[in-house]
Structure 1
Amino acid sequence: MPQFFFNKRLILLLVSIIILVALIGFSLRERNQLSWPEQFLKDTAGWFENIFHKPVSATVGFFENLNDLQDTYDENKKLKARLDEYVKLKTEVHHLKKDNEDLRKILGKEKDDLSKASHIQAAVIGRNPDRWHEMLTINKGTLHGVEKNMAVETSEGLIGKVKSTNKFTSSVQLLTSIDPKNRISAIIQGNKDAYGVIEGYDDKRQALLLKRIPYDKKVKKNSNVITSGYGGVFPHGLVIGKVIDVEIDEHGLNQKAYIKPATDFYDIHNVIVVKRDIPSEEEINKEEDDGQ
């Protein structure tokens, strides 16, 4: 009797396994339609998912919106503080500008601005291949107001000065020219400006030499170099270039800086002749001599 029940159970187990495998195979095959139990289970799961998904999404979105609102509030607070600082700074600048104008009028110094200058547009019409880095010729002369020693620049920066003039043309001596008299008073801009004199050109480094910088002055690389206006010829503020290196000079008493020119001296087509509005010391002395 027990053997009979054992065989019966074994047969039921085998039949169940066969049915389960058949159902698995049936569910895995490609079908256009699901069976009704599968549809029921899928629809039920979808219904519960839809019920719980909306509240959860709404709750998560609510907290995300709160965080975004807090971030927006903080950013708005910072921007408002900066705006208040900007308005305050703008007011102070306007006030200082007005005070400066009033003081200049009181002191009678409005005319004595070393940066004030007149400009004459000109074009390069000649360049000797043998003296390519020394001299060029422009199409403006004395009839156009060009005078000897006037500064000449391009849109990028200073290139030299007027060496000689004719009625319709002028010769311009470049900063790269080897001439002991070709000197320019310059400023290295920084927290504390350093003064020196442009004297010569280093062909190897392709850089202008700025000499006579005091030994104790701290000069940083990439500092801007401009004309000082104290040389009596050039106006203040003409761009010369940037510092690429600094070292002690051969005498060990001062520093010298190598300046990368702001302008490409090899490729020059259009220039600007700059006349300083404030008269030089020579012009003042000449006027005094003529008056006597």
Structure 2
Amino acid sequence: MRNKRLFILMIGLIVFIALMGFTLGRTRLTWPEKFINDAFGTVQGVLYRPVGAVADFFRDLGRLSDVYKENEQLRMTVAQYTQDQIRFNELETNNKRLQEALDFTEHQKNMDNYRYLIAQVIGSTSNPYEKTITINRGSKNGVKPGMAISTVDGLIGLVSKVKNFTSTVTLVTSLDANTSKGTPVSASFLSKPDSFGIIEYDAETRTLQMSKIDEKDKPAEGDKVVTSGLSSLFPKGVIIGTVKNSQVGDFGLTYTATIEPAAKFDHLREVFVIVVPEVDEP
């Protein structure tokens, strides 16, 4: 029995060696070999494609995660840049506005001997019949009732009430000699220092009207109008506005002009309290 097994093993070894020699000695495969190779290749390709797809899927997931992180970082960078840009623009705007304010005060100081207290507007009324604003300067800062208030552009009103640290300013659009709201503004034309007129607010047309203009001082469109200084309340030379149009007044002896205010009454932020030399310094 043992010899029989040994004989079969030797026969199998001889057949294997013969097949190996036969295969190595030729370049063409038999059809069974081709069939087996093709079948194996097909099965390998079928198995490789889903395995490769799964591998590519997880590889793409990794790349997608990296892209998401990069996009998140870019969004944060853009958001920070936008915030920095807004902050920069705000600082630039504030710097420009305050520089204009400084230039204004220096210009006015060269023209007149006034002192200017810059103040922040901290409140305003919505009453259409009496427009007022509140500023963060009061008696502790030397502010007194009757002081004129202006912006960089021009006159806006008069201090009507004063507290320790705040003051109420009545706008020129609410000044009226016939009521307790205040007094009209005496004015003149910048090009005609000796001219005279009274500035009042016309509620019907919502414009400033300059009346009682002498016939020899006939106004022309574009003429600059300033405070005349003839009133104890309003110092001389503060810009009020420009003439839009004019018409003959009462009995044809005077003129009345419509004035476009130089100052913008909406969105007031910084204003100046005008302190004239006659007023005691704080």
User: Where on the TM-score scale, by shorter chain, does this alignment land: which range?
Assistant: 0.5 to 0.7
Please give the secondary structure, in 2, of the residue aligned with 1:216. Answer: helix
Please give the secondary structure, in 1, of the residue aligned with 2:257. Answer: strand
Please tell me whether residue 121 in structure 1 is matched to residue 118 in structure 2.
Answer: yes
Question: Distance in 1 between the 2:249 and 2:112 partners?
Answer: 30
Question: Distance in 1 between the 2:223 and 2:259 partners?
Answer: 9
Structure 1, unpaired ranges of 5+: 1-112, 284-292
* Matched letter for residue 264 of structure 2: D
Question: Distance in 2 between the 1:201 and 1:115 partners?
Answer: 30
What is the Cα deviation at residue 230 of structure 1? 1.4
Distance 1:273 1:178, change over 3 A: closer
* Matched letter for residue 171 of structure 1: T
8 Å Cα contact 1:212-1:256 kept in structure 2: yes
TM-score, normalised to structure 1, is: 0.53
Structure 2, unpaired ranges of 5+: 1-109
Aligned-CA RMSD value: 2.3
Please give the secondary structure, in 2, of the residue aligned with 1:129. Answer: coil
Question: In the alignment, which residue of structure 1 is the partner of 2:95?
Answer: none
Question: In the alignment, which residue of structure 2 is the partner of 1:201?
Answer: 202
Please tell me whether residue 224 in structure 1 is matched to residue 233 in structure 2.
Answer: no
Question: In the alignment, which residue of structure 2 is the partner of 1:189?
Answer: 190
* Misfit runs of 4+, over 3 Å: 250-253
What is the Cα deviation at residue 136 of structure 1? 0.8
Question: Distance in 2 between the 1:266 and 1:132 partners?
Answer: 16
Question: Distance in 1 between the 2:185 and 2:152 partners?
Answer: 19
Question: Distance in 1 between the 2:260 and 2:213 partners?
Answer: 17
What is the Cα deviation at residue 264 of structure 1? 1.2
Question: Distance in 2 between the 1:223 and 1:240 partners?
Answer: 11
Which one of 173, 193, 197 corresponds to residue 170 of structure 2?
173
Question: In the alignment, which residue of structure 2 is the partner of 1:150?
Answer: 147
- How many residue pairs match? The answer is 167
Question: Distance in 2 between the 1:273 and 1:192 partners?
Answer: 24
Question: In the alignment, which residue of structure 2 is the partner of 1:276?
Answer: 276
Question: In the alignment, which residue of structure 2 is the partner of 1:214?
Answer: 214
Distance 1:160 1:251, change over 3 A: farther
TM-score, normalised to structure 2, is: 0.54
Question: Distance in 2 between the 1:193 and 1:243 partners?
Answer: 17
8 Å Cα contact 2:173-2:200 kept in structure 1: no
8 Å Cα contact 1:229-1:236 kept in structure 2: yes
Question: In the alignment, which residue of structure 2 is the partner of 1:263?
Answer: 263
Question: Distance in 1 between the 2:170 and 2:230 partners?
Answer: 20
Please give the secondary structure, in 2, of the residue aligned with 1:126. Answer: strand
8 Å Cα contact 1:244-1:259 kept in structure 2: yes
Identity fraction in percent: 32
Which structure is larger by alpha-carbon Rg, 1 or 2?
A: 2
Distance 1:157 1:133, change over 3 A: farther
